[in-house]
Amino acid sequence: MKISTFSSVSAALLLVASLSACGPEPRQTTEEIVSESEIVQPDEIDPVIARVNDSMIRLSDVHREFQARDYDLAAMPERGTEVFDAVVGELVDQKLLALEARSRGLHRSPEARRRMAQAEEQILGNVLLESEIDEATSPEMIERIYQEQVRMVPRDDEIMARHILVETREQADAARALLDAGEDFADLAVRISLDHATRLDGGSLGYFTRSGVSSVFGEVAFATPVGEVSRPFETEFGWHLLTVVDRRRQPAPSFETLQQRIVEIRMFERINELLVELRDGAEITIIQPAPAEVEGRDVSDPNPAETPE
């Protein structure tokens, strides 16, 4: 998992000479050991996008630049697009400036060395974090944490129900009489229910828990057996009839639902753990300014002017 860089991969061929009991075998050529079709060339993995004198700009360089601009790697602009070509042009300019600075010997100046050392520390720190995060958020680790979370999450009973909403108790009693006479609940809901959000779906409310609805509605719904119709009851919206279609234990959240959140939490935890480990194993001294350095200054001013003599 990358923080601010996109890995470039290079292929290396390792030739191993084998010995037998009868002495060394004839020397083999590269082609005899590995067929050309099995060798992946670096340019196939990370193609060259531009050349500036003897320097190269590769696809990974462009990807890193896009990531630095908060582009999602999956939605990266493709080669040949205006945005992609514009970034390549900027990298060419940057390469030209860097080459010219080296030709003038500016890379040996104290200021350049100081900045390059700081950049190296930042890059190495990011590479370390990437390595630690990759291990901490491996598929096996995320799956294990997901299973632990699922076991700990309390799951309530939930029911699937349909309901009919009318204005008065008399209308509710009349609807109940039609249902007792064999009228289909869903068809009746389509014809007479005042709940426009569910009427065309036969009054379907989907699955819900007792805590997910009003107390009165939940009390009646969870007291009604599957397949039966409730007594008429009143809420702030009017008079209701409901029928319970199904009852089940609330299913566990899917892996897809929790995956991203688990990854984010695990990243945060591992970074904090690593920093605590490193701080505990290091001698850290914060140098405070001498009293004479702050005497006569306004300590609330982050950039106090020098006091004139």
Q: Residue 301: what pLDDT?
A: 55
* CA atoms lying within 13 Å on the CB side of residue 100: 6
With 0-12 / 13-18 / 19 or more C-beta atoms within 10 angstroms meaning exposed / middle / buried, residue 190 is: middle
How sure is the predictor about 78, in pLDDT bands with cuts at 50, 70 and 90? confident
Q: Residue 42: what pLDDT?
A: 62
Structure tokens given for 241: 């009839």
Average pLDDT of the residues in 109-137: 94
The residue ranking higher by pLDDT, 32 or 54, is 54
User: Packing angle between helix 255-280 and helix 110-136, nearest 10 degrees?
Assistant: 130
Structure tokens given for 215: 């107390």
Cα separation, 173 vs 234, whole angstroms: 12
How sure is the predictor about 72, in pLDDT bands with cuts at 50, 70 and 90? confident
How sure is the predictor about 270, in pLDDT bands with cuts at 50, 70 and 90? very high
Highest mean pLDDT among 34-38, 245-249, 299-303: 245-249
Question: Is the pTM of the predicted complex or chain greater than 0.95?
Answer: no
Res 118 pLDDT > 90? yes
Lowest mean pLDDT among 27-41, 214-228, 253-267: 27-41
Average pLDDT of the residues in 184-188: 97
258 contacts: CB under 8 Å, gap ≥ 6: 146, 149
Q: Residue 299: what pLDDT?
A: 52
Per the CB < 8 A criterion, the answer to whether 142 and 266 are in contact is yes
Per the CB < 8 A criterion, the answer to whether 30 and 37 are in contact is no
Q: Residue 251: what pLDDT?
A: 87
Average pLDDT of the residues in 255-282: 94
Q: Residue 68: what pLDDT?
A: 86
